[in-house]
Amino acid sequence: MEEHGVELLQSLGDFTVKENWDKFFTLRGGKTLSNEGGGECDDLAAQTRDTPPVQILVPGCGSSRMSEHLYDAGYRNITNIDFSKVIISDMLRRNVRVRPEMKWRTMDMTEMQFADGFFDAVIDKGGLDALMEPKLGAKLGCKFLKEVKRVLKLGGKYICLTLAEFHVLGLLLSEFRHGWKTTIHVIPDKLKRKSSFQTYMVVAVKEGSSEPIPILSSFDHTNVDNSTDQNRTLVEAIDDENKIRNAISSGVDVIYSWEDLRTGVKGTLKELLPGRRCRLILGEQDVSCFSYNAVLLDAQQGTDAFLYRCGIFIVAKNRAHEWLFSSEEGQWAVVESSKAARLVMVFLDSSHSHASIDAIKRDLSPLVKDLAPEDTTDETPIPFMMANDGIKERTIVKKVTSTATGPIIIEDVVLGNTDSDSRQQESTFRRLIFERSLGLVQSEALLSQELVKNAQDKSEKNINSASSRHRKKGSHRRGSRSNLKVDHGYLASSYHSGIISGFILVASALEDAASCGKLVKTAIVGLGAGLLPMYLHGCMPFLDMELLGCAAVVELDPVVLDVARTYFDFTEDDNLKVRITDGIQYIQRSPPPGSSSAAARIKNPNSSEEGEMRILVIDADASDVSSGLTCPPAEFLEESLLSSAREFVGDRGLFIVNLVSRSKAIREMIISRMNSVFDHLHSLELEEDVNEVLFATPSPSEESSPDALARFQELLKLDRPERAEPILDSVRKIRCLK
């Protein structure tokens, strides 16, 4: 019997694969999966008792007896669906005589074959939970909930029995934010089963109003047992969601999904509404190649003055920060000059870096057609306008291939920028790109002629020859790589500035180390082009590596290291070294701060090991993005690794993660995990990019007061102090999550 139980569990595997469920139910031999009874069904009957006969759908029915209990309670019009032919055959055979009116159909609940508005109630007993496998992301869950909303009548109910995990709640509550009235109930365990998990019932009623309604619960939040992660997660999720709903109701500028706008949350999109402005996300998986941050603007004056009913205005990443595109006032100025009655302003970011503008236009066209006013016919051309990215020249410097990383591209781009005095300037940047993630620029460095000239001036100071003068003259010719040098005192990537801004959270500890001549051990997992460690090495010389106390750059791929040295002027010294090793093993095997031997401390008396502080930065991209994470690899965010990171940094240390994920559910799951390991958590969202930087500390962190900012700026030893401004701007945008 015990061996059979093990075989059953092993047969199930991935909850989202039909064949696994077929095998599972075949091994069970027709036995019901659960032993549910009066508790759940009494609560369900209370939600559906309005006016039998009501049309009820039970998606992912499995072998549960829930439908049988409801049928016996008087609800005859029940349709059960499951994508396992095995279980549908078994359940039909078991019920065909005793419950002849109950229907059973083999069907994928993420692609239902029912008419719109057909059902009065959809009762989901764990189906959404099964679809929301953390490693698979929210894709299937989103598809299922869209189908639920489609097949329900106005006034219909979606009744979801769930364990209320953080990533499930994140999707569930946000999907039913507009046009739905949501309540949450605790399901009592009337059978007194000794389960460590509580079941909850979420009821969402399809309303006509688009105004977000605060979530109601049938239990007192203050009386909920917060000693369990499950209850604490539910209360926090409800409170967080209600804050968002209240903010929307109060008129705060929020970002909507296409589904939100379809509910009429900002009025009907079929008509022009002068002065309407709303931010939204365009595109999603299986619908478009990319997703886009966008702003929809309906002109503030009558339509007679416009040439177009609808237009698309594309803003390149490196221009998104300009006043004309980032401010509301500037955006209205663009609308006026565009001659479009409705303008959809689309902002490109790093994920679009290697898509051609023609590919972007093809991807956007069907998305924007759905946003066009009703009287815009299919034949009416929707014009594309663009604030270009300023790239005047693109040169492939080198292509190399690594067995670990795959094809690697090094390219130079020449940008034409306009400064505040409207004087045209040209800047050359060197970029590192991994072909497996063509949508992301891994590293970007400013190339400088001035640095080369200064170096030559020093080396040729006493040489007065025609040949030396010839070389100096040649050093000013743009386009020759031999006369351009990487400027390691300049950060071209906004997320690098963001990472460094988080150091303010441990500024006091850094000040203590710097003033005492101690070296702070700082590990950076992921070298890239070596720009971040080189910058830190220059502006924070008290950072050092390993047991000797330094900026430990952990990089698994030796080819990447060779690229950094050859094409990005990365150099090592006693305080900046690279370990070609596995970053996870490095973190797990490093002894905690303060545990180094007396002999090691004698060897390096400046080590900060006794200060119980380290800094750990995870800045590596994922080779497998199927988990929904582009950066970092999912393994670095497992709870066991986070616990090792907590031990690594010590009581006064800082743990930093560069996070890139389009999935809201995955982000919330990661934050939940980090919250469970670290006592304090902060976030920096980069508006012009897809990155979010998370900062975790075991101890209370410092506030970004004017005094703290001034002291933090003192720690940055920069040759050009004005270059600290992007870092200080990022400091001001850091917000506390816990």
Given the DSSP bridges, would you call strands 308-315 and 292-298 parallel, antiparallel or unpaired?
Answer: unpaired
- The residues pairing with 297 across neighbouring beta strands, listed in sequence order, are 277, 343
Domain assignment of residue 455, yes or no:
no
Q: What order of strands is seen across the sheet that includes strand 406-418?
A: 391-402, 406-418, 424-434, 443-448, 485-486
Cβ neighbours, 10 Å, residue 8? 14
397 and 370 share one domain: no
269 and 395 share one domain: no
Contacts within 8 Å (CB) and 24+ apart, 600-607: 600/547, 603/548, 604/519, 604/547, 604/548, 604/549, 606/517, 606/518, 606/519, 606/544, 606/549, 607/518, 607/519, 607/521, 607/544, 607/547, 607/548, 607/549
Cβ neighbours, 10 Å, residue 25? 26
| Calpha distance 700→657 (Å, rounded) | 18
Q: Is the pLDDT of residue 629 over 80?
A: no
Is residue 505 within 8 A of residue 697, CB to CB? The reply is yes
582 and 659 share one domain: yes
Q: How far apart are the first and last CA of the chain?
A: 47
**With bands split at pLDDT 50, 70 and 90, how would you rate the model's confidence at 101?**
very high
Q: Average pLDDT of the chain?
A: 77
159 and 191 share one domain: yes
Question: Domain ends where: 249, 273, 295?
Answer: 249
**Residue environment code for 30-59, b if the CB has 16+ CB neighbours within 10 A, otherwise e:** eebbeebeebbbebbbebbeeeeebbbbbb
378 and 403 share one domain: no
Split into its structural domains, the chain has a count of 4
Residue 475's pLDDT is what? Answer: 35
Domain assignment of residue 458, yes or no:
no
Cβ neighbours, 10 Å, residue 671? 20
Question: How much is the CA Rg of the chain, to the nearest whole Å?
Answer: 29
667 and 712 share one domain: yes
Nearest Cα residue to 682 out of 692, 696, 671, 672: 696
Cβ neighbours, 10 Å, residue 560? 26
376 and 409 share one domain: no
Q: Is the pLDDT of residue 466 over 50?
A: no
Residue 656's pLDDT is what? Answer: 93
Q: Hey, is 171 helix, strand or coil?
A: helix
Domain assignment of residue 598, yes or no:
no
| Calpha distance 662→683 (Å, rounded) | 16
Of the given ranges (290-304, 586-600, 674-688, 697-711), which has the lowest mean pLDDT?
A: 586-600
Fill in the DSSP letter of residue 445: E
Q: Is the pLDDT of residue 80 over 90?
A: yes
Better-scored residue on pLDDT, 85 or 602: 85
Question: Domain ends where: 229, 249, 269?
Answer: 249
Question: Domain ends where: 367, 386, 405?
Answer: 386
pTM above 0.85, yes or no: no
Domain assignment of residue 462, yes or no:
no
27 and 44 share one domain: yes
Of the given ranges (448-452, 556-560, 707-711), which has the lowest mean pLDDT?
A: 448-452
User: What backbone torsions phi and psi does residue 97 show, to the nearest 5 degrees?
Assistant: -90, -45
Nearest Cα residue to 72 out of 107, 111, 46, 101: 101
Q: Is the pLDDT of residue 102 over 50?
A: yes
Residue 655's pLDDT is what? Answer: 93
Give me the torsion for CA of 684, 686, 691, 695, rounded to 10°.
-10
pLDDT tens digits, residue range 655-677? 999 988 767 778 888 888 898 89
Q: Is the pLDDT of residue 605 over 50?
A: no
pLDDT tens digits, residue range 375-388? 755 566 788 888 76
- The widest CA-to-CA distance across the chain, in whole angstroms, is 106
Domain assignment of residue 4, yes or no:
yes
Nearest Cα residue to 317 out of 387, 410, 420: 387
- What is the distance of C-alpha 576 from the center of its chain? 31
Cβ neighbours, 10 Å, residue 485? 20
Angle CA(413)–CA(564)–CA(497) in degrees, nearest 5? Answer: 70
User: What backbone torsions phi and psi does residue 487 show, to the nearest 5 degrees?
Assistant: -90, 100
145 and 239 share one domain: yes
Domain assignment of residue 629, yes or no:
yes
| Calpha distance 89→105 (Å, rounded) | 9
| Calpha distance 660→165 (Å, rounded) | 22
Task: Let me know if 577 is exposed, middle or buried by CB neighbors in 10 A (0-12, 13-18, 19+).
Answer: middle
The answer to whether the Cα torsion of 249, 251, 255, 261 is positive or negative is positive
| Six token digits for residue 62 | 């499995």
Given the DSSP bridges, would you call strands 654-660 and 549-555 parallel, antiparallel or unpaired?
Answer: unpaired
196 and 181 share one domain: yes
Nearest Cα residue to 60 out of 130, 145, 13: 130
| Calpha distance 415→399 (Å, rounded) | 22
Is residue 86 within 8 A of residue 22, CB to CB? The reply is yes
- Counting every residue written for the chain, the total comes to 738
615 and 676 share one domain: yes
Q: Which domain holds residue 327?
A: 258-386
Residue with tokens 């993660």: 657
pLDDT tens digits, residue range 514-554? 888 888 888 888 888 888 889 988 888 887 644 322 455 66
Tell me, what CATH number does 137's domain have? 3.40.50.150
Given the DSSP bridges, would you call strands 292-298 and 654-660 parallel, antiparallel or unpaired?
Answer: unpaired
Please state, for a pLDDT cut of 70, what percent of the chain lies above it. Answer: 75
Angle CA(722)–CA(723)–CA(727) in degrees, nearest 5? Answer: 110
Is residue 415 within 8 A of residue 570, CB to CB? The reply is no
Q: Hey, is 513 helix, strand or coil?
A: helix
- The residues pairing with 578 across neighbouring beta strands, listed in sequence order, are 553
Q: Hey, is 35 helix, strand or coil?
A: coil
Q: Is the pLDDT of residue 188 over 60?
A: yes
Q: Cα dist. 286→99, 141, 203, 290, 363 in Å?
A: 39, 13, 28, 10, 12
648 and 707 share one domain: yes
| Alpha helix segments (H runs only) across 196-304 | 229-249, 258-262
Domain assignment of residue 430, yes or no:
yes
Better-scored residue on pLDDT, 17 or 153: 153
Domain assignment of residue 601, yes or no:
no
